[in-house]
Amino acid sequence: QNTQKGSLPKQRLLVVANRLPVRAKRMGEDSWSLEVSVGGLVSALLGIDKIEARWIGWAGVDVPDETGKRSLTNALAEKRCIPVFLDEETVHQYYNGYCNNILWPLFHYLGLPQENHLATTHSFQSQFDAYKRVNQMFADVVNEHYEDGDVVWCHDYHLMFLPQCLKEHNSEMKVGWFLHTPFPSSEIHRILPSRSELLKSVLAADIVGFHTYDYARHFVSACSRILGLEGTPHGVEDQGRITRVAAFPIGIDSNRFIKALELEKVRNKIKELQERFSDRKIILGVDRLDTIKGIPQKILAFEKFLEENPSWHNKVVLIQIAVPTRTDVHEYRKLTSQVHEIVGRINGKFGTLTEVPIHHLDTQLDFHTLCALYAVTDVALVASLRDGMNLVSYEYVACQASKKGVLILSEFAGAAQSLGSGAILVNPWNINEVSTSIYYALNMPDDEREKRHHHNFKHVITHTSQEWAENFLSEFNVTVNQAQMRTKQ
Ligand code: G6P
């Protein structure tokens, strides 16, 4: 029987992702403090009553002793989380190495890093081996906790080997895989020495999901060009077995943001920010400090804008929140110093005794301060060089019901396909274009601003994270049921 959207059967779901939605900090030999992080996935699944989700993922901390492992496992069980323990060297090879130094840049069209070129194939190979080993460790934990009828939903580029590991152990297991990054053109994917193995493993899943139609199309053409398999309108066919491939664009829990704006502490924060910047327009960037986010390009475009528009000096400020991330990876450390150098130079050039044009913060703001900042911002600037979706653009729109600010959005973010007609789309590499767009955004007539905002707001409040999860899981059920019917015939 087919499952229609909105009529999901009662199901137990095992969500498998590199990271658990909980940050663990050791407080004593067997005591832990756990902080739940309410990402898109958590809020999406919380909203679906029929789904009983359990989470499997890396604990995020090194726990070398058995007492620690046992106590953390028990503490996490209360949050329905099951840890996978990885030692430091494995994290270095798998997470810093293969995931974040190889797959991440390649999937975002940044190529393979120089340190991993032919002269160091040895390190490439050992990182790839660690990646496969870790994926098998995740599979072992899934197998241990799996019960008949469970649905297993694997997430992201860290776990491309997982579908195959799971199906080899139990071919009846219902396995879905979703990629949160772009899937690059097959011409880029084919650079990877392990290109075929990764594709074959992902194809072991019953359903494979992407944020945009283009990523899904790239995946299907990689399978046809690299593996010689046939792409069908529904997915990829290999010897009569079809892997469903489709686009499911994610959203946010927009209500959480909209409701936060009504809280007294957020309203006070809004007032405080408005007073502090009463004589200035605010341009805002919120990004993880990642090579893909185009932070240097964004800041250079702002410099160009200041150079070309002296009348705006001291009347506009760029607030850039740069959340530190993956700080053990060389490219990320290099980026941090590069950004600091550019910001210092520009502030030195355009600053006064009392004011600077760029407020750059290497930090993560708490949720309420972030909402307040979104609400007071005149222009949000997202300059990603590539981005799977970019939910900062959604969060900004959700918080702009009263101000109706302008979103300048990179055409290389997945979100450009959904918010494109409300936002000003730019090529972040074109500093002139971004600078002109900043000028246009700051001077945009009210009626145009309102029209653009209205368009995006409608999209953000209707295409939520919950709707995304329901769409994926419904299609997952339909796919599995159809496959079962085919085998019976
Ligand atoms: C991206 C990835 C996620 C990842 C997040 C934060 O959004 O798609 O899988 O969790 O970045 O990166 P981190 O390496 O800190 O988990």
> What is residue 115's predicted lDDT score, i.e. its pLDDT?
61
> What is residue 121's predicted lDDT score, i.e. its pLDDT?
58
Q: Is the CB of 23 under 6 A from ligand 1?
A: no
Q: Is the CB of 325 under 6 A from ligand 1?
A: yes
Of ligand 1's listed atoms, the one at least distance from the Cα of 99 is 14
- Cα of 326 to ligand 1 centre, how many Å? 9
At 211, the amino acid letter reads: H
> What is residue 4's predicted lDDT score, i.e. its pLDDT?
47
Nearest CA to ligand 1 atom 10: 19
> What is residue 485's predicted lDDT score, i.e. its pLDDT?
84
Q: Is the CB of 326 under 6 A from ligand 1?
A: yes
Residue identified by tokens 């101000």 is 403
Q: Is the CB of 180 under 6 A from ligand 1?
A: yes
Q: Is the CB of 156 under 6 A from ligand 1?
A: yes
Of ligand 1's listed atoms, the one at least distance from the Cα of 155 is 9
> What is residue 328's predicted lDDT score, i.e. its pLDDT?
92
> What is residue 118's predicted lDDT score, i.e. its pLDDT?
46
Walking along the chain (489 residues) 10 residues at a time, the average pLDDT comes out as: 58 95 94 87 78 93 96 96 97 95 96 63 85 98 97 98 98 97 97 96 98 98 97 92 97 96 98 98 98 98 98 98 94 96 98 97 96 98 98 98 98 98 97 98 98 98 95 96 84
- Cα of 482 to ligand 1 centre, how many Å? 33
Of ligand 1's listed atoms, the one at least distance from the Cα of 388 is 8
d(CA 65, CA 68): 5
> What is residue 3's predicted lDDT score, i.e. its pLDDT?
40
Nearest CA to ligand 1 atom 8: 180
Q: Is the CB of 96 under 6 A from ligand 1?
A: no
Nearest CA to ligand 1 atom 16: 19
> What is residue 2's predicted lDDT score, i.e. its pLDDT?
38
Q: Which of 15, 16, 18 to mutate to test the pocket of ligand 1 (most atoms within 8 A of CB)?
A: 18
Structure ipTM: 0.97
Q: Which of 156, 183, 290, 329 to mutate to test the pocket of ligand 1 (most atoms within 8 A of CB)?
A: 156
* Count of other CB atoms within 10 angstroms of residue 27: 9
Nearest CA to ligand 1 atom 6: 325
- Cα of 445 to ligand 1 centre, how many Å? 37
Q: Which of 252, 288, 387 to mutate to test the pocket of ligand 1 (most atoms within 8 A of CB)?
A: 288
Nearest CA to ligand 1 atom 12: 325
Of ligand 1's listed atoms, the one at least distance from the Cα of 95 is 14
Give ∠ CA 303-306-309 in degrees, rounded to 5.
150
